[in-house]
Structure 1
């Protein structure tokens, strides 16, 4: 299994609520349409609060809430590297790419998008 994490920011002038509504109502549907057959899981995480150094409980050491740099952290789980390659091929298809880009331009700060390919380690339920 390959896990991709996308760190996404909203474009200037878009409220957090409008960002989320567009992402869930439009972009997620495009992803499901074009690459849904490749996804084992597709999860969006919308930060509610960010705390700097949460293990440090002193009042003067960064325990007050801070603003998250990203508006959503998206996780995509794909079966294997071949599925990732196929996803990339689809995203770059000359007929599909303009559709995705047009939608992204409506709500994303595309220059700030960060994609991480992860090796996930799961310790199970604690």
Structure 2
């Protein structure tokens, strides 16, 4: 069974949604990949909360709940082969020099005090024709 971590990430005060997204995509993900190498997750998917990009204070476009319930700007889903894969990734990311580099980069675009994360258990997916779609990954293992 895959091992999945979901992070709820908020942008740093004073930066635009565009800057937040651009830094994460263009700087942070490539940096993380270069630092952890083969222990990078099978997939690292970023889902950005739908907001008016021209208005930095715009509320989330909400279907259920209230805009105030969505204080984060993105949801990141990290999928690992198993818990052992997660542990290798985490241990590599926590090596002192690697952790220092990642923290310095985090502070450029995200609010670390608002960061939240949770591990999820069994994952199921259903295709549009009703069958199980399975779980497909971007990388090899």
TM-score, L = length of structure 2: 0.75
In the alignment, what sits opposite 1:42?
A: 44
2-side partners of 1:99 and 1:119: how far apart?
30
2-side partners of 1:26 and 1:41: how far apart?
17
1:9-88 equivalences in 2 (<5 Å): 9-38=10-39, 39-48=41-50, 49-53=61-65, 66=67, 68-88=70-90
**Structure 1 pair 75–123 and aligned structure 2 pair: CA distance change class (3 A):** closer
Structure 2 gaps, min length 5:
51-60, 131-141
Post-superposition offset of 1:6: 0.8
1-side partners of 2:47 and 2:106: how far apart?
18
1:101-120 equivalences in 2 (<5 Å): 101-120=103-122
Aligned residues: 115
1-side partners of 2:72 and 2:37: how far apart?
24
Query: 3-state SS of the aligned residue for 1:105?
Result: helix
In the alignment, what sits opposite 2:135?
A: none
In the alignment, what sits opposite 2:7?
A: 6
Query: 3-state SS of the aligned residue for 1:51?
Result: coil
Post-superposition offset of 1:36: 5.0
CA offsets, 1:3-46, max 9 Å, x none?
11111000110111110011111111112212352311111001
Post-superposition offset of 1:84: 1.0
| 4+ long deviations beyond 2 Å | 34-38, 49-53
**Larger deviation, residues 11-20 vs 32-41:** 32-41
2-side partners of 1:12 and 1:43: how far apart?
23
CA offsets, 1:89-120, max 9 Å, x none?
11210110110000011111001111111114
